[in-house]
Amino acid sequence: MIIRIVKMTFKEDRIDTFLENFNANKEKIRAVDGCEHLELLNDVDNENTFFTYSYWQSVDHLNQYRESNLFKTIWKNTKIHFSDKPQAWSVKRKISV
């Protein structure tokens, strides 16, 4: 299993637009083959910074999603609202307590 974390910082006046877009697409993302979990997190110290936290069955499943029309459309409508460059990490769980 792969955990994908994406950090996105938005222009203040674009947060509501981003949230509307996320809410409109969250079930579609979650229904993608290989997606096992999806969360949207908000930084406690910076209201403009959000993280998506998702579980994927494999790197191949994640890459198939990233190459899909769904992702391309969502990303196109998301990145125009950024105030800073996004960051992304694909990680594996090492220890869980």
Q: Give per-residue pLDDT as tens, 8-41.
A: 999 999 999 999 999 999 999 999 999 999 999 9
CA 7 distance to own-chain centroid: 8
Q: Tell whether 85 is covered by a domain.
A: yes
Q: Are strands 35-42 and 87-91 parallel, antiparallel or unpaired?
A: unpaired
Give the percent of the chain with pLDDT over 70.
Answer: 100
Helix orientation angle between 59-66 and 69-79, rounded to the nearest 10 degrees? 70
Q: Is 62 exposed, middle or buried (0-12, 13-18, 19+ CB in 10 A)?
A: buried
Tokens of 84: 């800073």
Q: What's the number of domains the chain is made of?
A: 1
CATH label of the domain that carries residue 52:
3.30.70.100
Q: For residue 22, how far is the Cα from the chain centroid?
A: 9
CA dihedral for 87, 92, 95, 97, sign (positive or negative):
positive
Tokens of 30: 């979650």
Q: What is the pLDDT of residue 22?
A: 98
The overall pTM is greater than 0.75:
yes
Domain contains 76: yes
